[in-house]
């Protein structure tokens, strides 16, 4: 388990974490009517600075998720960023951090609906390094669970209730001895991992499912696409991906704020590519690590400094 936070932004102000509590009747807890974000801040030792990664992109997606749930938070990208900076300064972190904003239907009482309820916001953060134990040669499986569809719970929103689907896929995969699950759409195409986007490399082309295939539009995914195009001159295709294209890929990997860039080398007992982490994912991991810590001047706009 990660270290617990010392503070939380809760009911409009920063309070000790132990005071940030909700009731068992909270609407979101009962019906999954919440949306969340997952953001990281990275410590840069030489600059003695903490950089939040792509804050505006994360909070734009967060606000879009709240819109899908008919929420009115009364917050903007700017005010959410300011609040996050204030929280991280209060914690006084000098290490890598994970940030979890949560917008939730806060009413206590029963009644399944989205409208006419009070919307609340919390933000917490905690020290964090890596989520995936094996991030260099994972063994993944195609899940028997299917991805939630846009007409069920829209996957482009990071909606809490939908994570029962992700959790089912992840637990079945891990309990069967795999590192991660890949879920297919209703039409049988690859969608994504339990909480990561998915890429393959084939004949020098980077291929990933499009935003219309029930994926969360990952910020790490977007970053990888930009780095591959700009820094590696690669062709990138966002298009439907068949299961057997993955079996025959040269490389495959997963991307996410928690997962970072994690290479997988086997899928359902089939070796992909050489069976070792490939050159494209290796290079992307190095570029990504430099970018998030503020070491690439051309991407410095992605790094929000916490300290003055
Ligand atoms: N898909 C899902 C379902 C996720 O929960 C996440 C993690 N937020 C991702 C993809 C990756 O998105 P990001 O790179 O923005 O963290």
Residues 97/127, Cβ–Cβ less than 8 Å: yes
Q: Is residue 21 flagged as an active site residue?
A: no
Q: Report the C-alpha gap between 29 and 260 in whole angstroms.
A: 28
Q: Report the C-alpha gap between 285 and 262 in whole angstroms.
A: 8
Which alpha helices (H) appear in 102-206, and where do they start and end? 163-175
221 Cα: distance to centroid of ligand 1 (angstroms)? 8
Which alpha helices (H) appear in 153-306, and where do they start and end? 163-175, 219-232, 243-247, 279-292
Q: Report the C-alpha gap between 102 and 62 in whole angstroms.
A: 9
Confirm whether 287 is domain-assigned: yes
Best mutation site among 157, 199, 220 for ligand 1, i.e. most ligand atoms within 8 A of its Cβ?
220
109 Cα: distance to centroid of ligand 1 (angstroms)? 31
Give yes or no: residues 164 and 271 share one domain.
yes
Mean pLDDT (the chain, rounded): 97
Confirm whether 302 is domain-assigned: no
Give yes or no: residues 73 and 112 share one domain.
yes
Range of the domain at 185: 138-292
Confirm whether 120 is domain-assigned: yes
The answer on pLDDT for 131 being more than 80 is no
Task: Count structural domains, the chain.
Answer: 2
| pLDDT tens-digit map of 243-283 | 999 999 999 999 999 999 999 999 999 999 999 999 999 99
Best mutation site among 152, 162, 215, 218 for ligand 1, i.e. most ligand atoms within 8 A of its Cβ?
218
Given 127, 148, 169, the domain boundary residue is: 127
| pLDDT tens-digit map of 191-222 | 999 999 999 999 999 999 999 999 999 999 99
Give the pLDDT of residue 34.
Answer: 98
Q: Report the C-alpha gap between 135 and 179 in whole angstroms.
A: 9
- The angle at the Cα of 143, spanning 146 to 182, to the nearest 5 degrees, equals 90
| pLDDT tens-digit map of 55-68 | 999 999 999 999 99
Given 127, 152, 180, the domain boundary residue is: 127
Closest C-alpha among 264, 254, 249, 269 to residue 176: 269
Q: Report the C-alpha gap between 83 and 164 in whole angstroms.
A: 29
Average of per-residue pLDDT across 13-17: 98
110 Cα: distance to centroid of ligand 1 (angstroms)? 30
Displacement of CA 258 from its chain's centroid (Å): 6
Confirm whether 298 is domain-assigned: no
Which amino acid residue places its CA nearest to atom 7 of ligand 1?
Answer: 195
- Residue 120's DSSP bridge partners are 104
Q: Which atom of ligand 1 is the closest one to the Cα of 37?
A: 8
The answer on pLDDT for 1 being more than 70 is no
| Ligand 1 neighbours by CB, cut-off 6 Å | 38, 166, 192, 195-197, 216, 218-221, 255-257
Which amino acid residue places its CA nearest to atom 11 of ligand 1?
Answer: 256
Query: CATH number of the domain that 175 lies in?
Result: 3.20.10.10
Residues 121/102, Cβ–Cβ less than 8 Å: yes
Which amino acid residue places its CA nearest to atom 6 of ligand 1?
Answer: 195
| Residue bearing tokens 């969340």 | 36
Split at pLDDT 50, 70, 90, the class of 2 is: low
Q: Which atom of ligand 1 is the closest one to the Cα of 155?
A: 3
Give the pLDDT of residue 3.
Answer: 78
Average of per-residue pLDDT across 167-181: 98
Give yes or no: residues 116 and 146 share one domain.
no
Q: Report the C-alpha gap between 227 and 256 in whole angstroms.
A: 15
Can you give the pTM of this predicted structure? 0.97
Give yes or no: residues 62 and 151 share one domain.
no
Split at pLDDT 50, 70, 90, the class of 141 is: very high
Task: Compute the radius of gyration of the chain from its Cα atoms.
Answer: 19
Give yes or no: residues 109 and 143 share one domain.
no
Query: CATH number of the domain that 58 lies in?
Result: 3.30.470.10
Confirm whether 303 is domain-assigned: no
Give yes or no: residues 286 and 142 share one domain.
yes
Per the residue annotation, which of 48, 158, 202, 235 is the catalytic one? 158
Which amino acid residue places its CA nearest to atom 9 of ligand 1?
Answer: 196
Confirm whether 306 is domain-assigned: no
Give yes or no: residues 63 and 194 share one domain.
no
Give yes or no: residues 148 and 91 share one domain.
no
What tokens appear for 84 in the block? 């996050």
Burial of 228 (0-12, 13-18, 19+ CB in 10 A): buried
- 120's CB contacts (< 8 A; 6+ apart) are 11, 103, 104, 105, 106
Helix (H, G, I), strand (E, B) or coil at 16: strand
Give yes or no: residues 196 and 247 share one domain.
yes
Give the pLDDT of residue 133.
Answer: 80
Give yes or no: residues 211 and 263 share one domain.
yes
168 Cα: distance to centroid of ligand 1 (angstroms)? 16
126 Cα: distance to centroid of ligand 1 (angstroms)? 18
Confirm whether 282 is domain-assigned: yes
| Residue bearing tokens 């991906």 | 241
Confirm whether 264 is domain-assigned: yes
- The angle at the Cα of 43, spanning 41 to 46, to the nearest 5 degrees, equals 150
Give yes or no: residues 122 and 150 share one domain.
no
Helix (H, G, I), strand (E, B) or coil at 140: strand
Give yes or no: residues 87 and 232 share one domain.
no
């Amino acid at each position: 388990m990660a270290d617990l936070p010392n503070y939380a932004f809760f009911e409009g102000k920063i309070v000790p974490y132990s005071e940030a509590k909700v009731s068992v009747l909270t609407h979101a807890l009962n019906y999954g009517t919440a949306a969340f974000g997952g953001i990281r801040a990275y410590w840069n030792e030489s600059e003695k600075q903490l950089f939040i990664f792509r804050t505006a992109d994360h909070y734009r997606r967060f606000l879009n998720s709240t819109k899908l749930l008919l929420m009115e938070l009364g917050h903007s990208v700017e005010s959410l960023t300011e609040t996050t900076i204030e929280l991280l300064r209060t914690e006084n972190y000098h290490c890598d951090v994970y940030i979890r904003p949560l917008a939730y239907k806060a009413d206590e009482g029963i009644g399944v609906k989205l409208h006419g309820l009070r919307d609340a916001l919390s933000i917490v953060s905690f020290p964090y390094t890596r989520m995936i134990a094996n991030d260099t040669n994972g063994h993944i499986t195609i899940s028997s669970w299917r991805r939630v569809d846009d007409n069920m719970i829209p996957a482009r929103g990071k909606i809490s209730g939908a994570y029962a689907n992700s959790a089912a896929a992840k637990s079945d995969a891990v309990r069967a001895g795999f590192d991660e699950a890949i879920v297919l759409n209703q039409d049988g195409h690859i969608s994504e991992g339990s909480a990561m986007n998915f890429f393959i490399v084939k004949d020098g082309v980077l291929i990933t499912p499009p935003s219309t295939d029930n994926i969360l539009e990952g910020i790490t995914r977007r970053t990888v696409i930009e780095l591959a195009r700009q820094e590696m001159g690669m062709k990138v295709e966002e298009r439907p991906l068949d299961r057997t294209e993955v079996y025959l890929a040269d490389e495959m990997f997963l991307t996410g704020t928690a997962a970072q860039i994690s290479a997988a080398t086997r899928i359902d007992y089939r070796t992909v590519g050489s069976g070792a982490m490939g050159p494209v994912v290796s290079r992307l991991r190095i570029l990504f690590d430099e970018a998030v810590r503020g070491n690439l001047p051309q991407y410095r706009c992605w790094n929000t400094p916490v300290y003055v």
